[in-house]
Amino acid sequence: MTQRTEERIKVFSRSNATQFSTFEFTNVDFIVGGTYDTTTYDYTIENAGTYLMGYSYSKKNPITNNNLRGASNVRLTRGDTTYTISHTRLNERVTNTTISNCFVYRFEAGDILKTVSAGGQPKLNAYGYGGNNILNSWWGIKLTY
């Protein structure tokens, strides 16, 4: 029997800034195993295994008669290759709606993950805020032994 290798992360932002490229989750709630860079917003997997990952965000107000969507991708860099492993999109003409994503994926040690805008004008929160609350976040946890 071997002891489980723990790895988990939860990062968030209190900003309501519109995200045009990488989602800027600047704050760390917790991280065990793995590394998270609060300047590049890269999460590097330390322990190979199957992970449950999720995140949520909001979207900017649509301009009248213009349907501004809010889309996002989870981008995985493995070795020299970077590709999308999950895509989330809301095409309705709605304002400040929470958009959530959740998936399972098998990662390898050294994999680098980031969440990025995939069109429209996603933002991390409907409104900026202070205090200890976490309204939206990017999180993941290793499930397997």
Partner 1 sequence: MPLTLIETIQSLVLYNRTGSFNNTTIGLAIELYNSTQDPNLTEVLATTSAITTAVNVYRFDFPDIGSYTGFATGESLSNIIREEDATSEVVSVAGSPTEMQGGLSVDTITLPTIGDAETNIQSNTNNLSSIQTQVDSLIDIFSQGISFRAYSLSSATISSGQKLPFNNESYDSQGTYDTTTYIYTIDIAGTYLFTFGWYVVEGIIATINLIRKRSGTEVIIQLSTTGSNTGNNTSFIVATIAECESGDEIYANIQTGSCRLAISDLTEPDNNTSFSGSRISS
- Smallest gap from Cβ 82 to partner 1, in A, equals 26
Asked if 15 and 126 count as a contact pair (C-beta separation under 8 A), the reply is no
Nearest to 54 by CA among 120, 125, 111, 104: 104
CB 70 to partner 1: min, Å? 10
CA distance 134 to 115: 17
Is the separation of the CB atoms in 32 and 7 below 8 Å?
A: yes
Whichever of 52 and 85 has its CB closer to partner 1, that residue is 52
- Which lies closer to partner 1 via its Cβ, residue 39 or residue 136? 136
Q: Which is nearer to partner 1, 18 or 77 (CB)?
A: 18
Q: Which residue lies nearer to partner 1 by CB, 21 or 133?
A: 133
Where does this chain bind partner 1 (CB under 8 A)? 1-4, 6, 8, 10, 29-30, 52, 54, 56, 58-59, 62, 92-98, 100, 102, 126, 132-137, 139, 141-143, 145
Q: How far is the CB of 1 from partner 1 (least distance, A)?
A: 5
Q: How far is the CB of 25 from partner 1 (least distance, A)?
A: 13
**Residue in 3, 11, 8, 13 with CA at minimum distance from that of residue 129:** 13
What is the Cα–Cα distance from 24 to 59, expressed in whole angstroms? 14
For the beta carbon of residue 42, count every other beta carbon within 10 angstroms.
15
